[in-house]
Amino acid sequence: MIKILKSLLPATVAVMGLGEAAAIAQNNAPVPVPVTVTVDTTRAGPVIDRNIYGQFAEHLGRGIYEGVWVGEDSPISNTSGYRNDVVAALRRLRVPVVRWPGGCFADEYHWRDGIGPRTQRPVRVNTHWGGVTESNHFGTHEFLNFAELIGADAYVSGNLGSGTPQEMAEWVEYMTSGSQSTLANERRRNGRDRPWRVRFFGFGNETWGCGGSMRADHSADLHRRYQTFVKAPREAPIVRVASGANSDDTNFTDVMMERARGQMDALSLHYYTIPDSWQNKGPATGFGEDKWASTLRAARRIDDLITRHKAVMDRHDPERRVGLFVDEWGAWYEPEPGSTPGFLYQQNTLRDAHVAALSLNIFHRHTDRVRMTNIAQMVNVLQAMILTDGPRMLLTPTYHVFEMYVPFQGATPLAATVEAPEYRFGDISLPRVDVSAARDTSGRLHLALVNLDPNRPARVVTNVTGMTVRGARGRLLTGPALDTHNSFDQPDRIQPAAYSGRVEGGRLVLDLPAKSVAVVAVE
C-alpha cells in the first residue's frame, strides 16, 4: 500500500515519509470557507408531497423500449417483459408517481393503438422523436402494470391536441371503470379484470407548443370542454391536471387560472436547465468551470419562476386549492456523440447531481403550491436516473441524489438560512452552500447540503433551535472532476460514501468538500 501511495505522489514528495507528504498536501489544500446554517425547528412549512419526487417516462429514444420494456422473450433478465435490474433500482427510489406517455408524444398518441394482442397492434411513426417506428407493444396495460410493479401511482397524459373528447373519456372509462360497460369488459378480455387506480390525468401537454400551438385562451376553453366528459368512478376520483405554461410565460398561467381554475385540480409548468441557449446547449461531459457555473445558475432560476407563477395563481386562488405541478424539469445538453439526435441521450455527471439537489431543495421551499414534479426523464433520456446498454445498466449521479433524498418524501420542511460568502466565477454569483432541512414522518431531522463551489470546501457550523445536537450521520456524493460520471466499463466510479459530522461547543460541524452533495440525519 505504501508503495502504491508513493507512486501517486510527485517525485519531490515520494522520497519523504507519508506523514510529511500528508502535511504538505494539507498545507496546499484550499482553506475551508466558513459557513453558518441556522435551522428554526419552530417554523415549519406544508409537508413535502411525496410526488415532488416523481418520474417521467415518454416514448422517446430508449426510454421505454430497452430502458423499461424488453419483452418476455428477451435474453435480458425480465419479469413479464420488464427488465428486472431497472425495476429493482426504481423500487429503491420509492418512486411515488410516473407520468406517461408524454411529453410531445402524448398529443399524437391514440390509446387504442396500445391495447389487445401485441402482434395485432398498429405500427406508427414517432414524428417527434427520431422518426422511428413505434410498435405500440408498450401500451395502457403495460404502463399501468409497470406502475403497480414499482409501487408508483399513475399519471396518464391524455391527447388534447389531435384526439377527441370522446376518445379521452373512453380511455378513462376503459382504465378505471368497475362496471359491466362495453369498455370495462373489453379491458377484462384484454387481461385486466379489476380497474386500475389512475390518480392523475393530464389534459394535453405543452398546448402552447407541440401539443397544438395554442394561445392561452383557446387552451383554457379546450381544457374546460374535454374535462367535462372525463368521468372517473366516484370512489376513485382523478386529479385533473391542466396543461400550463412554458418557463416564464406567466400570462399563460394567468389566463388558465382566470378561465379554467374551477375545472382543474393542478396546473403544470415546464422548465429545463440549459447552460447557454437552446441553440448551444453544450456537451454533457468535457466542460469547464464556466459551464459548471452557468448550469447551476440556470438550475436556480426555477426558484424565481415558481415564485412568479405562484403569485399569479394566488390572485385567482388565494386558498391554494390548485396545485402547481412542475411535471417536466431537468438538465438538457447536446446528445452524446454517435447517438441518434432525436433520442436525447446524454451522460449524467456530478454537475447533474448538483442540478437535481438544488432543484429538490427549491421545491421543498414551495410546498404551499408545488405538489408534484417529474424529472425528465427516468431512463436513457435527458437527466436520467438510469442508463442502459443492452443487458448492462448503470445508476447515474442523479439517481444517487434521489436515493439520498428519500427521507424527505412526506417530511415537514423547516426554515433554514445560510450565511456565507458567495461563490463567484466571472460575472456569475451563486450561493456557496444551499440547504434544506425537514423532519421526517418519525420526527427525525434531516439536512441536505449542496456545496456549489467546485474548488473550495466549506466548514458548515449549524445552529439548530429547539434541540440538543449530538451528531449527524448520512452520505456524501462528490468526485474528482466536474464531469465525474459512471460508465458501463466503470459503473461505480461515483457513488455515495458514508459521511458524518461532529459536535463542537454544542453545535454540529460538517466539513463539506468542494462540489459535493450531502444528506445527514441529525442525532
Q: The C-alpha cell of 23 is what? A: 502535511
Task: Judge whether 462 and 510 are in contact, CB under 8 Å.
Answer: yes
DSSP secondary structure, 504-521, as one string: ETTEEEEEE-SSEEEEEE
Report CA-CA distances (Å) from 163 to 136, 137, 158, 183, 293.
17, 20, 8, 18, 43
Q: Is 206 a catalytic residue?
A: yes
Q: Is 328 a catalytic residue?
A: yes
- Tell how far CA 270 is from the center of its chain: 12
DSSP state of 286: S
Beta strands in 259-365 (DSSP E): 266-273, 323-331
Q: Which amino acid is at 385?
A: M
**Close Cβ partners of 462 (under 8 Å, ≥ 6 residues apart):** 36, 37, 38, 39, 447, 469, 507, 508, 509, 510
d(CA 439, CA 408) in angstroms, rounded, equals 8
- 28 φ/ψ angles, rounded to the nearest 5 degrees: -85, -10
Q: Which of 170, 206, 289, 419 is catalytic?
A: 206
Report CA-CA distances (Å) from 395 to 60, 260, 360, 400, 486.
19, 41, 19, 7, 7
**Close Cβ partners of 57 (under 8 Å, ≥ 6 residues apart):** 63, 64, 67, 68, 98, 99, 100, 101, 143, 377, 378, 379
Q: Which of 66, 142, 328, 403 is catalytic?
A: 328
Q: β-strand 97-100 against 82-83: which pairing, if any? A: unpaired
- Give the three-class secondary structure for 303: helix
Q: In 3D, which of 286, 273, 419 has the Cα closest to residue 358?
A: 273
H/E run at residue 389: strand 386-389
CA angle 156, 160, 164 (to 5 degrees): 110
d(CA 271, CA 304) in angstroms, rounded, equals 12
Residues assigned a catalytic role: 206, 328
